[in-house]
Amino acid sequence: MKALSEDADLDLVDLHCHSTASDGILSPAQLVSRAKSQGVTLLALTDHDTLGGLAEARQTGDQLGVSVLPGIEFSSRWGRRQIHIVGLNVDPTSTELREAIALRERLRRERAERIAERLEQRGFAGALAGARRLAGDGVIGRPHFARWLVQAGHVEDSARAFKRYLGAGKVGDVKVDWPQLEETIASIQAAGGSAVLAHPLKYGLTRTLLRRLLGDFLGSGGDAVELLCGRQNPVQTRELRQLLESVAAETGRSHVHCSVGSDFHQPEQPWRELGCARLPEGVEPVWKLWHT
Ligand code: AMP
Ligand code: MN
Ligand code: MN
Ligand code: MN
């Protein structure tokens, strides 16, 4: 894990965002330019299951004076549920990490074929070619199918595409054996990175299950939890913070390191604009782990 210099500019930190390397709309260069104009000083690019955008993002970051950290948002599982685990400050050359990425590339390719088959059975001819075209060189995901369904005039917008065809329990919701939480944490840590539980409030869990997930994540050696993902209701943030403190005590930790990010995917979504979230006073930021 690369050390962050003591004088690194941590004025505005965003540790979760997406480019065209996965399901974002902006190229890595465009994304970093936008981050710069939003005042972001430290940015982690965390595309789904790929580091494909990193080199371009870093190049633009060097030109514009934005520090770009290598990151990735790994598709993972907790029991039967799909969860996301962000790896921050990973070594992009790590063999273990490369293997974890290659495995997910295959799982995504196979899933795309199955999603397309099912959509075609529903009469949506050309889904695979259409989604692949929209994914371009990036890793393919459900959002590319959603955008294709919109472009082909089958549905008005991506949100409806998920609601009708791609979301939980719908025809295109193909189950994938993503690697389990423990294995995902291990892949990230083998690459010297910090494993961060992404957006714990977005899995639709009851409070009891959320507590259990946090406990399992921290109990399995997870490094940090995303306390803020995009613009968040302050009451929810406070409650999550309290829950984290209580779970931390149970797992024998004095505190839990916290991460923050926008989960930016595209312009015109002000609730997840780059740099839109800041950690509250008094929490231990994940970047403390990277100081020498
Ligand atoms: P995948 O990684 O291919 O399973 O696709 C998951 C991605 O789809 C998430 O990272 C979001 O960017 C996007 N997504 C999930 N649910 C929705 C939704 N209801 N509407 C629009 N986009 C969604
Ligand atoms: Mn996404
Ligand atoms: Mn996610
Ligand atoms: Mn994300």
Q: Is the distance from the beta carbon of residue 61 to the nearest atom of ligand 1 less than 6 Å?
A: no
- Tell me how far the alpha carbon of residue 16 lies from the centroid of ligand 1, in angstroms: 15
Is 3 inside a domain boundary?
Answer: no
Look up the CATH number of the domain holding residue 147. Answer: 1.10.150.650
> Residues 156, 284: one domain?
no
Please answer whether residues 31 and 265 qualify as being in contact, where contact means their C-beta atoms are separated by less than 8 angstroms: no
> Residues 87, 19: one domain?
yes
Q: Is the distance from the beta carbon of residue 78 to the nearest atom of ligand 1 less than 6 Å?
A: no
Q: Which residues contact 168 (CB under 8 A, 6 or more apart)?
A: none
Q: Is the distance from the beta carbon of residue 192 to the nearest atom of ligand 1 less than 6 Å?
A: no
> Residues 63, 204: one domain?
yes
Total tally of structural domains belonging to the chain: 2
> Residues 219, 153: one domain?
no
> Residues 115, 97: one domain?
no
Is 267 inside a domain boundary?
Answer: yes
Supply 247's token pair: 């779970």
pLDDT value at residue 251: 86
Strand order in the sheet with 257-261: 13-14, 42-45, 67-78, 81-88, 194-197, 224-229, 257-261, 284-285
pLDDT value at residue 8: 85
- Residue 283's SS3 state is coil
Supply 69's token pair: 């950290």
- Residue by residue, pLDDT tens for the chain (292 residues) are 778 887 789 999 999 999 999 999 999 999 999 999 999 999 999 999 999 999 999 999 999 999 999 999 999 999 999 999 999 999 999 999 999 999 999 999 999 999 999 999 999 999 999 999 999 999 999 999 999 999 999 999 999 999 999 999 999 999 999 999 999 999 999 999 999 999 999 999 999 999 999 999 999 999 999 999 999 999 999 999 999 999 999 988 999 999 999 999 999 999 999 999 999 999 999 999 998 7
pLDDT value at residue 223: 98
CA separation for the pair 211, 227 (Å, rounded): 14
pLDDT value at residue 290: 96
Measured from the Cα of 141, ligand 1's closest atom is 3
> Residues 206, 237: one domain?
yes
> Residues 221, 252: one domain?
yes
What b/e string do you get for 55-94 counting C-beta neighbours within 10 Å, with b at 16 or more? ebbbebbeeeebbbbbbbbbbbbbeeeebbbbbbbbebeb
Q: Count the alpha carbons within 13 Å of 131 in the hemisphere toward its beta carbon.
A: 31
pLDDT value at residue 201: 98
Domain ranges, residue 140: 111-166
> Residues 131, 272: one domain?
no
CA separation for the pair 262, 260 (Å, rounded): 7
> Residues 193, 74: one domain?
yes
> Residues 184, 91: one domain?
yes
CA separation for the pair 116, 133 (Å, rounded): 13
CA separation for the pair 58, 32 (Å, rounded): 8
Q: Is the distance from the beta carbon of residue 158 to the nearest atom of ligand 1 less than 6 Å?
A: yes
Measured from the Cα of 111, ligand 1's closest atom is 3
